[in-house]
Amino acid sequence: MLFDIATLKDDTAAGTVTQAILARDPTAEITVQLANRRVRVEGLMTEQQVLDALQGAGHFASKAPPHSGEGSTCCGGCGG
């Protein structure tokens, strides 16, 4: 899952994002892209659980659109 996070501006924010997700899913794999304020999360959490965890940590997040560049959630199924 790929998320846009408006408040992801520096390493401190990246740390709180990572901690918020790992607190709920210690097995999650998290990739932070500071340059475009994106986070990719692979793990056991649902999209809503990730959004709730981020909001609880003070971050406004939304699901990034499919086919939105590196780290997209594209499954290849639609051929787009």
pLDDT (tens digit, 9 = 90+) per residue, 2-28?
A: 999 999 999 999 999 999 999 999 999
What does residue 12 show for φ and ψ, rounded to 5 degrees?
-65, -45
Instruction: Confirm whether 40 is domain-assigned.
Output: yes
- The number of domains in the chain is 1
Return mean pLDDT, the chain: 88
Instruction: Confirm whether 32 is domain-assigned.
Output: yes
Which of 33, 28, 46, 37 lies closest to 4 in space, CA to CA?
A: 37
Report pLDDT for 80: 46
Instruction: Confirm whether 68 is domain-assigned.
Output: no
Report pLDDT for 78: 53
Give the CATH number for residue 29. Answer: 3.30.70.100
Domain interval for residue 12: 2-63
Please determine, for residue 67, whether its predicted confidence score (pLDDT) is greater than 80: no
What is d(CA 49, CA 45) in angstroms, rounded to the nearest whole number? 6
Instruction: Confirm whether 41 is domain-assigned.
Output: yes
Instruction: Confirm whether 8 is domain-assigned.
Output: yes
Instruction: Confirm whether 72 is domain-assigned.
Output: no
Q: Whole-prediction pTM value?
A: 0.81
- Looking up tokens 């999209």 gives 47
